[in-house]
Copies of this chain bind each other. A is one copy, B any other.
Amino acid sequence: MRGTVIGGKKICIMAGPCSVESERQLLMTAHAVAKAGASVLRGGAFKPRTSPYEFQGLGEKGLKLLAKARKETGLAIITELLSEDHVEMVADYADILQIGARNAQNFQLLIAAAKTGKPVLLKRGLSERIEEWLLAGEYILANGNPNLLFCERGIRTFETYTRNTLDLSAVPILKKESHLPVVIDPSQGAGRSDLVVAMCKGAVAMGADALLIEVHPNPAEAWSDGAQQLTLEGFAKLMEELRPFAVAAGREI
């Protein structure tokens, strides 16, 4: 995957907008996050929205923009796969296939993703137990694909201050129960950009192998999830603030 290693000494930073919205938005973000030290660009082309009347993503046009951003910046690409019918198309463009929380137990999609041979990032379901998550991961492994990443993105709790409750204990637990890399998504976990920095520090201290962070040139005008996206400047500052915690954890960023 473009020379990127996930699970090594260097903590892998995946960053980019919630949704791919336009060439300008995506390229501006890609160059900024690459400069600040990210190695993977995230961006949704197919969006699973609670309501059919919300923006559903740019589709293949979004995938083409991601490919263009990769060509310009050298960043690897991670993007969400929603449908068995899109597996080939998405796998043609993406370096890592992301399975979202709402599809965490959509086993047919997991099998289809596994069969592409591409690395699969499997998010935890909204109220999924870790044992269920590990077993869902078995649908990837048992279908011949060893390149599996587990991504904690917050679980549903009664707390209303945050969108979800980021369960950072998933990091040491997954480290005990599997040999696979653990990714933390603080943006979905918090649903508020003002908590992302603290959550990244905690994730790094607890041993996360990678972070998946939403970054947007202008969060206030984002087409989806504006409240949880960092600005380009905010992301660059975050990278600086994380360094001492990475060092304390015996890692690099």
Query: Chain A: residues with CB nearer than 8 A to chain B?
Result: 48-53, 82-85, 102-103, 105-109, 125-132, 135-136, 138-139, 142-143, 155-162, 165-169, 171-173, 176, 189-190, 194-195, 198-199, 201-207, 244-245, 247-249
Contact = CB atoms under 8 A, between A and B. Distances in A.
A194 B169 contact: no
Given A106-B103, A135-B52, A169 B199 contact: yes
A84 B82 contact: no
A139 B52 contact: yes
B51 A138 contact: yes
Contact of A129 (B160, B198, B247): B160
Nearest to A125: B126
22 contacts: A50-B105, A52-B107, A52-B139, A52-B143, A53-B138, A82-B107, A82-B108, A83-B108, A85-B108, A102-B107, A103-B106, A129-B158, A157-B157, A158-B158, A165-B169, A171-B198, A172-B195, A172-B198, A198-B206, A201-B205, A205-B248, A247-B248
A189 B159 CA distance: 16
A169 B142 contact: no
A155 B165 contact: yes
A100 to B, nearest CB: 9
A27 to B, nearest CB: 29
B189 A198 contact: no
Given A82-B107, A132-B50, A198-B207, A165 B162 contact: no
Given A160-B129, A176-B194, A247-B248, A52 B171 contact: no
Given A52-B142, A129-B160, 6 more contacts: A50-B105, A52-B139, A84-B84, A199-B206, A202-B206, A244-B248
Contacts of A105: 48, 50, 102-103
B107 A48 contact: yes
Closest 3 CB pairs of A and B: A205-B205, A83-B108, A172-B198
Contacts of A106: 102-103, 106, 109
Contact of A202 (B190, B205, B244): B205
A49 B138 CA distance: 12
In this complex, the member of A48, A167, A168, A249 whose beta carbon has the largest number of chain B beta carbons within 10 angstroms is A168
B171 A168 contact: no
Contact of A135 (B51, B102, B165, B203): B51
Contact of A168 (B84, B102, B158, B168): B168
